[in-house]
A and B are shown apart, each in its own frame.
Chain A
Amino acid sequence: MIQLQNITKKYKTSNGELTAVKDVNLSINKGEIYGIIGYSGAGKSTMIRLLNGLEKPTSGTVTVNNQEFSSIKGQKLRNARQKVSMIFQHFNLLWSRTVAENIAFPLEIAGVPKAKREARVKELITLVGLDGRSKAYPSQLSGGQKQRVGIARALANNPEVLLCDEATSALDPETTDAILDLLVDINERLGLTIVLITHEMHVIRKICHRVAVMEAGEIVERGEVLQVFQAPQADITKKFVSQITDTKETQETVTQIKENYPNGQLVKLIFVGEKTEQPVISHLVKQCDVEVSIVHGNISQTKNGAYGTLIVQIEGSESNIAAALSYLHTVEVQTEVIANAN
């Protein structure tokens, strides 16, 4: 569906040339939710704008929905853009238009006759859950509602691809989740390919199938979300993964746990995918004759399985503890010994 080949994008600035994207190759499948994560300045904003021709690459080719966006111009480009729509961090709604009129805007651009336009707008308002708000102005809506209008507007011309430019970064956590659910729903119901850029690992974890990590204009790591979570390679990826697992709170908890549980052995277990559903702990207790206390736990759901950490305290004879640890290795649970009993 989307192919980027040897993409480089340079900007001329007053301090010389700036390379925003450096020799990137990327392929995104139809119907996939693909996440690009990076800190600000990593080049992800430029990347997503290459996908609908708002930016042209300095070299390389961009093909989206069988259109070569890197070379088409004029009416051809404008028509192609109607099938590759975009939503924005700050929603970018026209304040001078009501909800219904904002959603009708892309239809006016596409030259849809008035009666058809009105029917389609009604449909879209229901789809994004804004019934009864059609006559409201954007200034009368909450952030989440504004993004719903943005999504409805983006879906108006039945696009093949939806580009999300930090679509949830200006929203509170609860609204973020609601908008992400809506995106998944659209992806599943309409078979839409979604490309999103973000700096929040939470967003990647929650809805993406695959992810690419960007740093200084380059993709430093990519793959299935779960696989990247399980075994992050690049330092920056590890940092992003720890956004979800090792929150500051967890680190504090670990210090406290060490103080509160001076006996036995503290072990951090990392579960990935199906392993989370196995009764690992009860096996441990029954087979190895050790005492297990759960001191901290955390499980996150990703699009293709769960990812979790569990900190347990194992008490018992030395040989039993050793047996317990080797058992944990056989079930392919990653273990990390935090602290030995003194």
Chain B
Amino acid sequence: MLTSLFPNVDWEKMWEATYETLYMTTISTVITFILGLVIGILLFLSSPNQLWANKLVNFLTGSIVNIFRSIPFIVLIILLIPFTKFLLGTIRGADAALPALIIGAAPFYARMVLISLREIDKGVIEAARSMGAKTSTIIWKVLIPESLPALISGLTVTAVALVGYTAMAGIIGAGGLGNLAFLDGFQRNRQDVTLMATILILIVVFIIQWIGDFITAKTDKR
């Protein structure tokens, strides 16, 4: 039945593209999480009245985040072509999409980390300081655990955005469902291929959202 509904779909190609999408999304989400968390914590701690209050560091970090967050992703990919070529020696394939995906998403996630950390009750940080906690202890045992549900729901939003970014990265030949929909579906005028690719992207997005919501609820003890 599937074959009659989607006569032009090459299933092997479709699964391969799905795998590439999942690969790009997973790797870039993991690295975005780490990088965004580091930048977000730096932004938080360097802001006024915080533990590392430092106007210069705060201004510089904030500016970099804002600049990269403002560049449209499709433009960012093109701007990063020389960088990617230098880093990986090629601009084709799933790996070649990763630098652009991470550099596009990490500043976005860093902002969400900052918002999550600002939601933490100041008193809890003060209590930890009054117990003689080091800043590293405060980061690992107060900041991250106390904002975990927000950090995870922010990551879910970022991961869903990254699925969209992988589709755009497909245009420059990164592979994945976006690439397939564009080359096989749009350019060859095979609507069924575009539709199937869309359905698979939706399924990926729903699964990410479901996992994210589940973990968020699980970690929230408030």
Known: A96-B148, A97-B145, A139-B221. A109 touches B133 (CB 8 A): yes
Task: Establish whether residues B127 and A96, one from each chain, have CB atoms under 8 Å apart when the complex forms.
Answer: no
Q: How large is the interface on A (under 10, 10 to 19, 20 to 34, 35 or more residues)?
A: 20 to 34
A71-109 residues at the B interface, CB under 8 angstroms: 77-82, 85-86, 88, 90, 92-97, 105-106, 108-109
Decide yes or no whether B146 CB sits under 8 A from chain A. Answer: yes
- Residues of B that sit less than 8 Å from A by CB: 121, 123-124, 126-134, 137, 141-142, 145-146, 148, 219, 221-222
Known: A94-B142, A105-B141. A82 touches B131 (CB 8 A): yes
Please give, as numbers and ranges, the residues of chain B lying within 8 Å of A77 by CB-CB distance.
Answer: 132
Decide yes or no whether A52 CB sits under 8 A from chain B. Answer: yes
Closest approach, in angstroms, between the C-beta of B46 and any C-beta of chain A?
Answer: 19
A-B contact sample (20 more), CB < 8 A, given A109-B132, A137-B221: A54-B129, A77-B132, A85-B131, A86-B130, A92-B123, A93-B124, A94-B124, A94-B141, A94-B145, A94-B146, A95-B146, A96-B145, A96-B221, A105-B141, A106-B131, A109-B131, A109-B133, A110-B132, A139-B221, A157-B131
Identify A95's interface contact among B134, B141, B222, CB under 8 A.
B222
Please give, as numbers and ranges, the residues of chain B lying within 8 Å of A106 by CB-CB distance.
Answer: 131-132
Please give, as numbers and ranges, the residues of chain A lying within 8 Å of B134 by CB-CB distance.
Answer: 78, 109
Task: Establish whether residues A139 and B222, one from each chain, have CB atoms under 8 Å apart when the complex forms.
Answer: yes
Q: Which residue of A lies closest to B221 (CB)?
A: A137
- In angstroms, Cα B95 to Cα A154, docked, is 51
Identify A92's interface contact among B126, B132, B148, CB under 8 A.
B126
Identify B133's interface contact among A78, A86, A137, A163, CB under 8 A.
A78
Identify A88's interface contact among B123, B133, B145, B146, CB under 8 A.
B123
Q: Which residue of A lies closest to B145 (CB)?
A: A96
Contact with B along A235-274 (1 / 0, CB 8 A): 0000000000000000000000000000000000000000
Contact with B along A108-134 (1 / 0, CB 8 A): 111000000000000000000000000
Please give, as numbers and ranges, the residues of chain B lying within 8 Å of A92 by CB-CB distance.
Answer: 121, 123-124, 126-127
Please give, as numbers and ranges, the residues of chain B lying within 8 Å of A94 by CB-CB distance.
Answer: 124, 141-142, 145-146
Task: Establish whether residues A86 and B132, one from each chain, have CB atoms under 8 Å apart when the complex forms.
Answer: no
Please give, as numbers and ranges, the residues of chain A lying within 8 Å of B126 by CB-CB distance.
Answer: 54, 88, 92
The total number of A-B Cβ pairs within 8 Å is 66
Q: Which residue of A lies closest to B138 (CB)?
A: A109
Q: Which residue of A lies closest to B122 (CB)?
A: A92
Complex A-B: 16 CB contacts under 8 Å: A78-B132, A78-B134, A82-B131, A86-B127, A88-B127, A92-B123, A94-B146, A96-B145, A96-B146, A105-B131, A106-B132, A109-B132, A109-B134, A109-B137, A157-B131, A163-B130
Please give, as numbers and ranges, the residues of chain B lying within 8 Å of A93 by CB-CB distance.
Answer: 124, 127
Closest approach, in angstroms, between the C-beta of A47 and any C-beta of chain B?
Answer: 15
Closest approach, in angstroms, between the C-beta of A85 and any C-beta of chain B?
Answer: 7
- In angstroms, Cα B128 to Cα A153, docked, is 11
Closest approach, in angstroms, between the C-beta of B68 and any C-beta of chain A?
Answer: 31
Please give, as numbers and ranges, the residues of chain B lying within 8 Å of A108 by CB-CB distance.
Answer: 137, 141
Q: Which residue of A lies closest to B133 (CB)?
A: A109
- In angstroms, Cα B150 to Cα A95, docked, is 14
- In angstroms, Cα B130 to Cα A88, docked, is 11
Closest approach, in angstroms, between the C-beta of A249 and any C-beta of chain B?
Answer: 35
- In angstroms, Cα B221 to Cα A85, docked, is 26
Q: Which residue of A lies closest to B123 (CB)?
A: A92
